[in-house]
Amino acid sequence: MQCKEKLITMKSTTDMDKSLWKQLEAFEKKGIDRRRFFKIMAAAGVFAGLNNQKVKASSCKAKGKIVIIGGGAAGISIASRLKHELEEPNITIIDPSDRQYYQPGFTLIASGIYKPEEVWKRQEDCIPSGVKWIKDSVTAVDPIWNNVVTTSNGKISYDFLVLVPGIQINWNEIEGFDYNQLGKGNAHCIYDFKGAQMTWKAMKEFTEKGGKGVYTDTYTKHKCGGAPKKICLLTADYAQKHNHREQLSLTYYTAEKDLYDVKYFTPRLKEIYKERNVPIELNTRVKGIDTEKKQVYFERIEKNGEEKIVTPFVEDYDFLHFTPPMSAPNFVKEAGLGFKEGKLAAGGWVEVDKETFVHKTYSNIISFGDAAGLPTSKTSAAIRMQVPIATKNLIALMEGKEPSNKYDGYAACPIITDYGHVLLCEFDYDKEPKISFPFSMLDMSKEQWAAWILKVYILKPLYFYGMLKGYA
């Protein structure tokens, strides 16, 4: 079945337009020159296509019941695109949350840049009209009989499954810790909405009182790998701006063999840590946390030839920001949909072709986003590039065709280095830089003011009014 193009006419003044202008007015009051902003952003092509009143779409007669597990960035974005492109869409989203969070904003809450109410909207306002929403949790998937089991709504059948449930945070895998202890003993984490709010309050108090700050990532793949790096650097900068930096000792611990794995950006990032007097400890993972004693139990893992040497040690802290282990949801693993071997097996990440997102065993299942076993960073910027490809490939499957659209691994991690600058790390599967905006006049291997504007003022309205609507 061939798809024919049609045009979708948007409002002359979109919600995204209004939001962008509201942001412009807000930072203009802060002394940021609007002309300078537009000059740089226009050159970068940031606004290209955002204000177009006509959006190309396809009118496809392909039919089939599509069930989407997950109502986050990936789930709602692909639902919107499918609704635009299918003539008679039959789409169901299963997700228990009544809120849609802009999760990249959690770091900005934790550093006092955003207010908590600025990063979420009601889920019912984000679900595309005409798309059925089942407000429930998935407990199992049967890929042989093509059905999904939910907590309250029983079995739900599908012809095609879009498996985008997001990521599972495994708090209990840290010895001596569970979610209920978050914030206690000044142990904090910004991968949680409430946690981000507690982090901001605690960070301010810590910089005023002084002491030892410990910052960690984790040994598993995790969403927004730059987040723990950001909050560490923002703490240092906040303290510096308030004349408290000398009374702080900050150390960053990473389970990786280097601070960052994209060589184009790594040298400058390491220089920034050195300039901020923040030592970096490599090959070091968190084993446990004692919130009463305010101690972190570490393991340094090194190799001597084929021999693995594990060295345990303990660090006291006054302020702790840690990154918990993460994985695909349990029901993905239990359904046998995850990788069985290799580096991606331990996390149960969905076993898909890294270019087409089609499951390697079940060809009527597509998965991308945080839960998918893709060898790239788990960020909303990556999802934004994955959604159009996933949409086209799913429609191809519905038409009985081979999916031909391919993803090159694009991901972006805007690492905030201080209050006013961002190191915009963009790269592909080969860990080569892949600058999506033509900042031709700027050296993107270094932190930039323009990237800060993009991160703080542009990406959030682009998310809610562009990406989730199926237009960006």
- Cα(292)–Cα(289) distance, integer angstroms: 9
Q: How far apart are the first and last CA of the chain?
A: 26
Which distant-in-sequence residues (6+ apart) come within 8 Å of 201 by Cβ?
none
| Torsion region of 465: left, alpha or beta (phi above 0 gives left; psi -120 to 50 gives alpha) | alpha
Q: Identify which of 442, 452, 472 has the alpha carbon closest to the alpha carbon of residue 23.
A: 452
Q: Which amino acid belongs to residue 185?
A: G
- Cα(213)–Cα(420) distance, integer angstroms: 22
- Cα(410)–Cα(194) distance, integer angstroms: 30
- Cα(464)–Cα(445) distance, integer angstroms: 29
Contact yes or no for 176/307 (Cβ under 8 A): no
Q: Of 3, 60, 232, 413, which residue is the catalytic one?
A: 413
Structural tokens at position 150: 């939910």
413 is catalytic: yes
Q: Identify which of 23, 11, 207 has the alpha carbon closest to the alpha carbon of residue 105.
A: 23
Q: Of 60, 189, 224, 232, which residue is the catalytic one?
A: 224
Per this entry, what is the length of the chain?
472
Contact yes or no for 291/184 (Cβ under 8 A): yes
Q: Annotated active-site positions, please?
A: 224, 413
